[in-house]
Chain A
Amino acid sequence: MPGSIKNRVAIVGMGCTQFGELWGKGPTDLIVEAVTEAVADAGIEMKDIQAVWSGTLFSGNGGRTVAEALRLPYLPVTRVENACGSGHEAVRGASYAVAAGIYDICLAVGYEKLKDEGMSGLPGMQNRTGTHYESSMPGVFAMMATRYFNRYGLTPQEGKSMLGKISVKSHHNGSLNPKAHLRREITLDQVLSAPIIAWPLGLFDCCGVSDGAAAAIIVRADMIKSFKNKPVYVKALQICASPTSGRMVTDYDYTHVEEAHRAGIAAYKEAGITNPRKEVSMAEVHDCFSITEAVTMEDLQFSQRGRVKEDIEAGMFDLTGSLPVQPDGGLKCFGHPIGASGIRMLYEPYLQFQGRAGKRQLKDPKIALAHNMGNEPYAPVVSVCIVGL
């Protein structure tokens, strides 16, 4: 029987930079700003950190990049990479090390200087033989929308409207978040008339491509009395890597993400949640594209299969709904500095639980879910992290 992380570690400090096209800032700036904020927030000093897990896809050179930026005194620093899921992976490493009793205080930091990669949008895929089909990341997620529309009998107009409402909601939330990359409200008409990036997804179906960093200080649960902040406990950390059979075997429907579904089931079990739709107070999911958020609602059992449209239209995931999703604007508007995103997803629950979410503040949230996904929908690695009071 595997052990459980539930209530064994707590987050006692967090930091997050402004996300955006931060042309004047490099990886060092981002790491220093996020970590110094987290350290100050926890009321500790840099020297109190005993070990570090860092997550980045493009911007690191081993663990050394963080050690260098912070001039850490010969600490154990590990760099993890799990594609767009690298942020959660850093939290997992730090949490398990603390829970194992090896360290008392660990730092998890995720960062990405994505705008040094010289492109708009997310990077495409290549293989070793130079024969990869020419599709961008929007392209492979667009193909999930094509399937979803086909399977559930939605016309392109109906399907795009359903997805558009997700983006309108996230832009509203992002407009209330001073650290978000995209802080402008949009209308459904704007979404539907925007240029097509990869049919059927348009510009507003795609997340921001951003620079940024986020950091968390993780300590043993029995130490929380020595910290000033209201602690946020880790309730579940589950991750699921794809055997990548969805693109080879014809029974995959391409209207759901099996790995998300399985990681969700495992996380609910670990956290002791039996009715996610009722028990989860808020969620930050990996909304790299609007269609990803839509199917994730079904994968995580917030909505029934094929029926997320009803919940979207009922406003269930709005800030005022019964299960607000992306209260901070999500990848869509807060932005998506790849390695930082998984930790940014925990920053919002952390603020919400402590009553520090400003105009976005939800009433009395107790359980928050963060869902961090890397790679393509038919072959991803998906992490589900549940935190709560």
Chain B
Amino acid sequence: MVGIVAYGAYIPWHRMDRQQCVKAWGGFGMPGEKAVAYFDEDSVTMGVAAAIDCLGDGNAGAIDGLYFATTSAPYKEKQSAAIMAIALGLRRDVRTADMTTSLRAGTIAFGMALDAIKAGTASNVMVTAADMRLAAPAGMTEQGLGDGAAAFLLGKENVIAEIQGTYSITDELAGTWRAADDTFIRSWEDRMVQDEGYSTIIPEALNGIMKKYGLKPKDFTKVVFDSPVDGRRHGKVASTVGFDASQIQEPFSLFLKVGLTGCASAPMMLVLALEQAKPGDKILYAGSGDGVDAFILQVTDAITNLPARRGIKGHLASKKMMESYNTYLTWRGIVPQEEARRPAKTPARLSAMWRERKQQLGLWGIKCRKCGTIQYDDGAAATTPIRICAVCGAKDNFDDYGFSRKKAKVFSYTHDNLAPVADPPASVVLVDFEGGGRAFFDLTDRDPKEIAVGTEVEMTFRRMQVNRGLSIYHWKARPVR
């Protein structure tokens, strides 16, 4: 049996009421709010967060591949999945790939992971889809989009939803596009794009997969596929194919709270559906963009044993409303901010980043084999990785010790108004990890008022800066919510 072993999701903590766009630009406001990635987040960090949610306490060492789907990768040349593989603590002999440029990338990656497992080249593959597409200010597209991510671990054991069938079509229609040098999305006239694209190809694929496997709409508990901004069209497409309202995984709850998340849209809707699924449910799942991929999922008894996770519901419950649209513009770099009147940061040293990739990207420290002390060196001095134990002086006699999924408590903190950051004050914490180890971190996704000595935090993968085009990633602490 091959299928989904676990799922996870990520939605940024910061949300913006769509009325903020109306306040800024006038015009018509869509209902609800959109999720906005923080200034230190991007598709890579959100993808890692969803994968961590998916993995839980699971064994990263058992994963044989990582497929990352996005249309908003930080690099045009340079793989994102390779960064994520270190962040997630995967083995070195894994196959990684970025599936990019298509809004269908999330389901493409899902299908390719399935194929790899079926072919026997992998036993477990992590698929993560994340997007933060950018629409030009003052348009309706800007209001409709949101940022988010989903992840699925596909495998052969402890399958919670068996993948029983697949069907794909490819269709050439540049409904929305971004050229290699475009910052913002471009679109053709909506009616043509939706009528000849979305509303044509999704029924074609849904009907195609049912015909291929001899199934009818009544055989499915639920049909899950992505929606355009106009959610009514989504419902109409489903009913055209023969599904009734009770079978449709409605798109509104995500649209009103998160927005359309690009190639993570359909995967996030599937996570929402799986959160509500019961053993025996049959789900028809599809994602569109340059065609459609469709899948038949059979939910198994194992879903009742899946450990608790945040998923969509947990992330939706935790949020902070942004106070202004201007903040959004600056976080996305659409409007430049006055530079700090401080000396420029020293240029990135790629050689050092490479040398310390395991410590910086993977948050690996050590446990001394001689005295047992657990240690992470935050690299403030130029001495990482650790060569000499800080307690007993043992040299190079350590076991690797991962901190990325450990919780910690704030030992001390400050809110620093002098340090130049995009969202002052700079909140910095010195934390003591459960099980041992201490280190300094930036504190992100925080309300300064809620921080005290003893506040519980967890680690989150974030982008520290972009320097000479290099996205420099590391880990920050954030309050556990």
Contacts and interface: CB of A to CB of B under 8 A. Distances in A.
Interface of A: 117-121, 123-136, 138-140, 142-144, 146-147, 150, 195-201, 243-245, 247-250, 252, 254, 376, 378-379
B382 A139 contact: no
A129 B390 contact: no
Contact of A146 (B373, B414, B439, B472): B414
Contact of B472 (A121, A131, A195): A131
B428 A196 contact: no
Nearest to B345: A126
B329 interface: no
B341 A120 contact: yes
Contacts of B378: 127, 132-133, 247-248
**What are the 6 closest A-B residue pairs judged by CB atoms, nearest first?**
A139-B416, A128-B352, A131-B474, A245-B390, A136-B418, A198-B416
Contact of A248 (B353, B375, B414, B474): B375
B461 to A, nearest CB: 11
A3 B170 CA distance: 84
7 contacts: A124-B420, A135-B419, A143-B412, A198-B419, A245-B391, A254-B411, A379-B381
A321 B343 CA distance: 42
B74 to A, nearest CB: 15
B378 to A, nearest CB: 7
Interface stretch (B108-116, B240-248, B305-313, B429-437): B429-437
Given A127-B378, A252-B438, 15 more contacts: A124-B342, A129-B353, A129-B472, A130-B348, A131-B472, A134-B428, A135-B419, A143-B430, A195-B417, A198-B419, A243-B390, A244-B390, A248-B375, A250-B411, A250-B432
Contacts of A118: 341-343
Interface string B406-418: 0000011111111
A248 B438 CA distance: 5
B441 interface: yes
A120 B418 CA distance: 9
Nearest to B415: A199
B275 interface: no
A125 B346 CA distance: 10
Interface residues of B, number: 54
Nearest to B467: A130
A140 B416 CA distance: 9
A140 B425 CA distance: 14
Contacts of B417: 195-198
A376 B382 CA distance: 15
A138 B383 CA distance: 24
Nearest to A243: B390
Contact of A139 (B348, B356, B383, B426): B426
A146 to B, nearest CB: 5
Name A's interface SS: loop
A199 B379 CA distance: 24
Contact of B342 (A119, A127, A131, A197): A119
Nearest to A132: B380
Interface of B: 341-343, 345-346, 348-349, 352-353, 356, 360, 373, 375-383, 390-391, 411-421, 425-426, 428, 430, 432, 436-442, 448, 453, 464-465, 467, 472-474
A43 B375 CA distance: 56
Given A128-B352, A130-B472, A247-B440, A254 B412 contact: yes
A318 B166 CA distance: 82
A119 B341 CA distance: 6
B414 A139 contact: yes
A216 B467 CA distance: 43
Contacts of A379: 380-381
Contacts of A142: 414, 416
A131 B379 CA distance: 8
Contacts of B425: 198-199
Contacts of B414: 135, 139-140, 142-143, 146, 198-201
Given A130-B345, A131-B360, A138 B418 contact: yes
Contacts of B349: 128-130
Contacts of B437: 248, 250
A147 B429 CA distance: 11
A200 B419 CA distance: 15
B373 A249 contact: yes
B453 A133 contact: no
A330 B72 CA distance: 53
Contacts of A243: 390
B436 to A, nearest CB: 7
Nearest to A126: B346
Given A121-B418, A150-B453, A129 B379 contact: yes
B442 to A, nearest CB: 5
A245 B391 CA distance: 8
A196 B448 CA distance: 13
A250 B375 CA distance: 9
Nearest to A135: B428
B269 to A, nearest CB: 35
A248 B467 contact: no
B380 A143 contact: no
A286 B417 CA distance: 23
Given A143-B428, A248-B377, A127 B415 contact: no
Given A117-B343, A249-B438, A129 B352 contact: yes
A129 B360 contact: yes
Nearest to A378: B430
B381 A123 contact: no
B464 A127 contact: no
A10 to B, nearest CB: 37
Contacts of A196: 415, 417
Given A129-B356, A130-B353, A245-B391, A139 B428 contact: yes
A160 to B, nearest CB: 14
Most buried by B among A129, A139, A144, A199: A129
A74 B355 CA distance: 42
Given A130-B467, A139-B426, A119 B442 contact: no
A197 to B, nearest CB: 5
Contact of A147 (B380, B412, B440, B473): B412
A342 B411 CA distance: 32
A136 B418 CA distance: 6
Contacts of B419: 124, 134-136, 139, 198
Given A244-B380, A245-B390, A247-B438, A133 B428 contact: yes
